[in-house]
Structure 1
């Protein structure tokens, strides 16, 4: 049975329908051209596809290629930016690490310097020195003679012209100053180790009772006050502050590291 379309007035195809038909025609034409070429004998003349269909296919291909290239370029740019950001973060982290390490090292060096300074100060405060710089013992300990009321020398004499600086042999506290009878002007110190030292025949005194002194600090100037035949320093080491508690001054100083 034949089917016939009703006669009458028909609507014009829509734009979408036209576009689809055109695309289908291009595809069919392209396919026909390709198939025709494959089916035709070698050397036979083949109809060329219409110019508009071929141009459309090329244009679509070019658009696709250009879009792919743009996407790839964008991906490369994003990857490069990510790499640059990661490198920057790594460099910043390394710089921060180095800065912290430099600060830590500086703190450690300062701490070491402070410890060394404190240690040096402790050594200085605990050190002992000769009572007269660059001098020597002119009269030894326990030397006998009528000049001494006890019959022997209770200390040692250091050669020193009048006005020569006299120093504390170590760290201590001034116990007494002033006239000491036969010792003339004297200074007596209680040392930090509990012993005592005495400095006699001074021409002047530069410290006062109760004052703390450090090794090498000037106590006064040598002279010839008291019972003496000439200027020098009479030095004693004692177990107590008073006369009669003397001990060998040279052995005392040497036991504290003083080379005489």
Structure 2
């Protein structure tokens, strides 16, 4: 029986398809390990001219794609870090602005509180000052008492008190008020009458000159004139009266009046 056996000593070489397949597999293996070089195997050398390049097989595209993916990933991470840094910076700036605004608010509130406190203290000081009474003549004393008798007074008694004062001594308003009389007062000579904030009146007589006029507002201790001996007077002194009204005959004890307002007489 006849078999189609090949003649002895004759061998048919590998087909072109088999050699190409082996070449592709070798290139793929080398691409996977990252090694690209010259393949020295006899099977590849036999058909080197006919073997396809890495670009022909698409393996080069895979490597390029991986490099591109790595580059994109790196850029994405860089952009993410930059975005995080920008967000952190923006948050820090916002927090700094918030702290600055709060510090400014607190400083303004403190300054306002200090101003308010200073204004209250000033008002209180002014109130105290305006409610303070002083003696009409500094460093003086009472030379003639209230209700002292004698023919010098038309009523038969002294309607005020006399303070010892040389001519030209400064005379002060004893408290805050409004001048209701300033000028010649007959037996009182040059005199001033002041209505005080509590509704009482004080009168200053026999002065040599006056420093105020009717309607003027005066404060405690303000100069209203100089002492003298005008009118019905036996010599330089200040005649001082405390009254419930503006006119003669409404007098009250001037010593008790001054003491009730804190003046030591």
Query: Which digits, 9 at most, give the CA deviation of each residue in 1:46-73, with x for residues without a partner?
Result: xxx76378x9688776665554344323
Aligned twin of 1:158 = 163
Give the Cα separation in 2 of the matches to 1:116 and 1:232.
39
Give the Cα separation in 2 of the matches to 1:137 and 1:63.
113
Aligned twin of 2:29 = 30
Cα drift, residue 112 of structure 1: 2.8
Aligned twin of 1:115 = 120
Aligned twin of 1:90 = 95
Query: Which digits, 9 at most, give the CA deviation of each residue in 1:140-163, with x for residues without a partner?
Result: 222334443434322111222111
Query: Pick from 80, 83, 86: which aligns with 1:75?
Result: 80
Aligned twin of 1:51 = 37
Aligned twin of 2:17 = none
Give the Cα separation in 2 of the matches to 1:28 and 1:241.
129
Closer, same or farther in 2 for the Cα pair 1:139/1:82, shift >3 Å?
A: same
TM-score, normalisation: structure 2: 0.71
CA contact (8 A) 2:146 2:160 kept: yes
Closer, same or farther in 2 for the Cα pair 1:135/1:50, shift >3 Å?
A: same
1:172 equivalent in alignment to 2:177 = yes
Aligned twin of 2:257 = 252
Cα drift, residue 257 of structure 1: 2.2
Task: Report the secondary structure of 1:51's partner residue.
Answer: coil
Closer, same or farther in 2 for the Cα pair 1:33/1:218, shift >3 Å?
A: closer
Closer, same or farther in 2 for the Cα pair 1:69/1:27, shift >3 Å?
A: farther
Task: State which structure, 1 or 2, has the greater radius of gyration over its C-alpha atoms.
Answer: 2
Give the Cα separation in 2 of the matches to 1:146 and 1:192.
35
Cα drift, residue 218 of structure 1: 1.8
Closer, same or farther in 2 for the Cα pair 1:123/1:32, shift >3 Å?
A: closer
Indicate the RMSD between aligned Cα atoms, in angstroms.
Answer: 3.4
Closer, same or farther in 2 for the Cα pair 1:232/1:80, shift >3 Å?
A: same
1:232 equivalent in alignment to 2:237 = yes
Give the Cα separation in 1 of the matches to 2:163 and 2:68.
111
Structure 2: segments with no counterpart, 5+ residues: 1-19, 39-53
Cα drift, residue 131 of structure 1: 1.1
Higher deviation after alignment, 112-121 or 237-246: 112-121
CA contact (8 A) 2:243 2:250 kept: yes
Aligned twin of 1:41 = none
Give the Cα separation in 2 of the matches to 1:243 and 1:230.
22
CA contact (8 A) 2:30 2:36 kept: no
Give the Cα separation in 2 of the matches to 1:243 and 1:26.
138
CA contact (8 A) 2:143 2:164 kept: yes
Structure 1: segments with no counterpart, 5+ residues: 1-20, 35-48
Give the Cα separation in 1 of the matches to 2:32 and 2:244.
130
Query: Which digits, 9 at most, give the CA deviation of each residue in 1:207-259, with x for residues without a partner?
Result: 22333323222211101112333211110001122222211112111212223
